[in-house]
Amino acid sequence: MNPCGSPSTLPLLGLLLESKLRSRSCFYSGRQLLRAYAERQFNAFLWISLIGVTLLLLRRVARLFRLWSEGSKLPGPPCPSFYGHCNLFSRENFSDVLSGFHERYGSIFKLWLGPTQLLVSVKDPEVVKEILLKAEDKLPLTGRAFHLAFGPSSLFRSSYDEVQKRRESLSVELNTSLLKSINVIPVTVLDSINNKITVAMAKGSANSEQISRHIAFTILGATLFGETFLTWSKASIYEKLLMSVAKDACFWASYNVTPFWRRGFWEYHSSCSKLRCLTQEIVQLCSKNRVRCCNQRSSANPKDKGLEAAYDGLACSSAMMSSSFFPDEICSILCSSEELSANIMGVMFHGYLTTAGLICNVLVRIVKHPEIQDQIYSEIVMAKKGLLKDKQNVDDMILLTATVYESARLLPAWPLLQRCSLENDLHLKCGAIIPAGAVLVVPVQLVQMDGSSWGKDATEFNPYRFLSIAQGRSVSAYHTGEAKHDHLSERSFVLNDPNENAAFLPFGSGARACVGQKFVIYGVVSLLASLLEHYEIRLKPGSETDLKLSTNNSILQLHPSPELVFIKRSD
């Protein structure tokens, strides 16, 4: 028998084989078409990517050539090497270096810090004012440092457009509702500070830097979180972590690529995580206490005004933590809001360092000028007449306020103000053009110690430069001694607005100026009035009186820190 079957089946097998071959051929041809299509799409994607990257690089090269072209028109020393003048930053006092260059090249000069980084220093007060109004952005390094340390924040980004609304809301909050209550320092806050002074005096003296930091930390913590912060057991740990993170933030942010391979970075990252957890903890604790306070008030008898007043003193007020201050209401549980923690840590960092430096500077000035301290005490006594026990009339303490202004002038918080314009060139009235991306610095020390703006005694401590004498007498009469025995009760002095002088820059100027300037000044004046009312502050015998400026964590400080003695005044 034929194994292939009958002859009639052969054509059928042929047709079947032919159909299979055709279907397989169609399959392979369709697969090839798909493969060819995918290859064409992938090649198109690669070409588009290549063109996009090329255009981006060409744009950067064009901006770099523009930076070189416009930068070369500015006066300044020639570039010594490929790395420019980066070695100048290793010197102890960069302000002295800038001072020498300003004397040689004028009020505006340039320094190349590398092939792609141009630094422009400005000293003339009017030009500084114009630049700070036009240059609204901060350096990208600043934004990276805050993001790396504290997380994403809507208050401390480099681009001004991204932070403008939040900064304006914060400014309104600080300078309206919070400013109204600044005349009254809570008793618990004063008790906490007095306890710290008592502990320090038990050892014989108090270090001016340490006591100032404690005062600033207490005041700022109580302002943000209410009196809950004063009883928080982890406040000292929070302060140490905050200082540790602030010390290393700029160093780790200076890497173009986050250095995950460095062991020190992971230790720093661990400290940031602990700080964030503690911030969330105090926010939760403050929220719970506030809810408990509101519940107690709702169940209390509204006729019992004494009880209602007592409840008013508990926890943080809604004005202190409204939605305009931070992204959400403080009364809700906000531990899941990473941006809230970043904003709080940023405000604590900035406010703590600057306020502590200002308080320390004022304390050192008044102990070195006891005659000013005596006159301030007389002013406090007069201003307190007719007021409640715990209330301070800040508006009547003009000499104390002028002393704070003068202390801030002689020793600003930061040696340099740094700004930039990320997108647009700056066209100045003097004809100079500062290209986009250039680093703008203002040597605050030089500007605030310049004799052309502050007179021949610009380097001396003289708070009366911020006061005007009414009734036709000149301000200089007091300084020369002619009116030295005038009594402040005559109300012959009026306080000048320091911001009218373009050379007054301890709080910055322009769009990026400190949003809490007025709040800080009023708070420090009110606090110092409370301290000086109860204590006479003297320099410890044998303590250093020849103080020198130094920079610690980019903050200007007087070293060595003098030892102070707080002597209780007799009632």
What residues are designated binding site for heme?
Answer: 514
Long-range contacts of 539-548 (CB under 8 A, 24+ apart): 539/367, 539/368, 539/563, 539/564, 539/565, 540/204, 540/205, 540/564, 540/565, 543/205, 545/368, 547/364
C-alpha of 139 from chain center: 13
Binding site listing: 514
Tokens 């986009």 sit on residue: 436
196, 211 contact by CB (below 8 A): yes
Q: Note whether 67 and 422 are within 8 A (CB).
A: no
Q: What is the DSSP string of 309-371?
A: HHHHTSS--TTTT-TTTSSS-TTS--TT-HHHHHHHHHHHHHHHHHHHHHHHHHHHHHHH-HH
User: How far, in Å, CA of 154 to CA of 24, rounded?
Assistant: 62
In sequence order, what are the residues at sequence separation of 6 or more whose Cβ sits closer than 8 angstroms to the Cβ of residue 225?
232, 282, 283, 286, 316, 321
Closest CA to 183 of 533, 531, 522, 517: 522
Helix, strand, or coil (residue 14): helix
CA–CA separation, 424 and 420 (whole Å): 10
Residue 436 and residue 140: Cα distance in Å, rounded? 13
- What does the block give as tokens for 115? 């092939």
Distance CA 185, CA 187 (A): 6
Q: 3 and 10 in contact (C-beta within 8 Å)?
A: no
Q: Is the dihedral of CA 351, 353, 356, 362 positive or negative?
A: negative
Helices 338-368 & 235-253 angle (0-180, nearest 10) = 100
Q: Are 67 and 118 in contact (CB under 8 A)?
A: yes
Q: In this structure, which amino acid lies at residue 251?
A: F
